[in-house]
Structure 1
């Protein structure tokens, strides 16, 4: 049986993997939330690895608040860069294959067509910069790893755009949604299944991967899609806006060319 450590187990992806674990009897999962395993603390990681032998580690632990990262960059880099390096170092020392989750925000959005794994990165906000630095450290520290970039993650868990739009519409609130950004919304369940397929198939095609659900949307068109799927479009007032003020800069076009 394969032994798999999942960090950040209380996040969207971690919870999606937990929901799927019954479908993978060949895997023994070890789920650790941030209280049980703080990736920014080397001792916390060492303790977990000292008591277990893991074949894989799926690193879902991350600082993901794009807005607040601009105000507290040290915290973002502590988790997304240093924390990732801590996990990578421990995985390498213990022969554990790392599957690290990254983001479309490592790109600046200026290309205007889908980004491939060969494209030059150029983050324009703190969150993207901290995630890119984490990628760089994984590459420097490890031989066997997967870095899986994804985008616009949503699920029934946690806080995300899908749930926010649905909640507002169900309360009858009017919506003002920007169409100034384009990306690929990705359901965390699909990402989880892709990651678990890498493990089950024993893939040795290590390195950088892009995974999304493959359908381009603006935030506005995604909102319309959500309302349609939940039979709420005709009951909801929706206004398209060009610019929605945010503290952090965001890439205008961050579609990833998904290989699957």
Structure 2
């Protein structure tokens, strides 16, 4: 039985993979979070991987506190860059296939057309810089790796934009949401399903792939969709990013072109609103909010 190791198992994608695992009895899934498998100790990473002996690693673990990364640069680099390089090297030496999750933050946000995998990178935040360095280390140490860049991830698990909006819409009569950052959300369950489809296809094509749901929207429009589906009476107002300053700069445009993953792995990608409806339904059913 092939063994799949999932790091960052308590994160959004890791949590969705845990839910889906029961549908794949042919695989032995091993889920680890930071308490089981710390990415801050380089020696421990190799020791753990030698002990676990996985056939596949899905690296969902990351330092994702985008604003805190502006000051916790060393810690972000350790987790998002150096640890990824060590994992990739182990995979290369032990014939283990690696899928590593990356981000739209590797781009500078100045594009006006959907971003392709081979477009120039130019991260504008420390988080983005460490994630790009992680990509480069991954491909250098294991050219056979698959890297999936994604954006605006949300799910019924953990903290995310959707759950924050649901909370604020209950607490307030009106909220302000930036209307000049353009992209597309990613339902973590859809990404998890795509990852497992890649693994079960047994047709490995290394390289970088983009994945997000279909649609081109702003965070403001995303909030309006959440309001509509949840039937909230809260007023949602659009504001420019200049009125909501953050320590880390966000990409103004990070719409990802998904042509490659759709063609290579025949993955069908849902419209963002359809996936949002499914997520909100699960949140209600499972009392996740």
Same fold (TM over 0.5): yes
Which has the higher mean CA deviation after the structures are superposed, 54-63 or 235-244? 235-244
C-alpha offsets along residues 51-77 of structure 1, whole Å, 9 cap, x if unaligned? 232111000110011111111111111
1:151-190 aligned within 5 A: 151-190=151-190
TM-score, length-scaled by structure 2:
0.87
Could you list the per-position Cα deviations for residues 74-122 of structure 1 after superposition, in whole angstroms to 9, with x for gaps in the alignment? 1111110111111111111211111000000100011111000110101
> Is structure 2 residue 105 aligned with structure 1 residue 81?
no
CA contact (8 A) 1:39 1:87 kept: no
Query: Does residue 207 in structure 1 map to residue 199 in structure 2?
Result: no
Task: Work out whether 1:37 is the aligned partner of 2:41.
Answer: no
Q: How large is the RMSD of aligned CA atoms in angstroms?
A: 1.1
Q: Is the 8 A contact 2:39 2:78 kept in 1?
A: no
1:6-25 deviation line (CA, Å, top 9, x unaligned): 01111111111001111111
TM-score computed with the length of structure 1 as normaliser: 0.96
Find the counterpart in structure 2 of residue 92 from structure 1.
Answer: 92
Partner of 2:121: 121
CA distance in 1, matches of 2:104, 2:50: 34
Structure 2 stretches lacking a partner, 5+ long: 263-289
CA distance in 2, matches of 1:75, 1:16: 26
Shift of 1:45: 1.9
1:184: how far off? 0.9
Partner of 2:18: 18
Return the offset for 1:47. 2.6
Q: Which structure 1 segments of 5+ residues have no match?
A: none
Number of matched pairs: 258
User: Is 1:242 the equivalent of 2:244?
Assistant: no
- In terms of fraction of residues, the more helix-rich structure is 2
Structure 1 residue 72 corresponds to structure 2 residue 49: no
Tell me what 1:134 maps to.
Answer: 134
Q: What's the offset of the Cα at 1:216?
A: 1.5
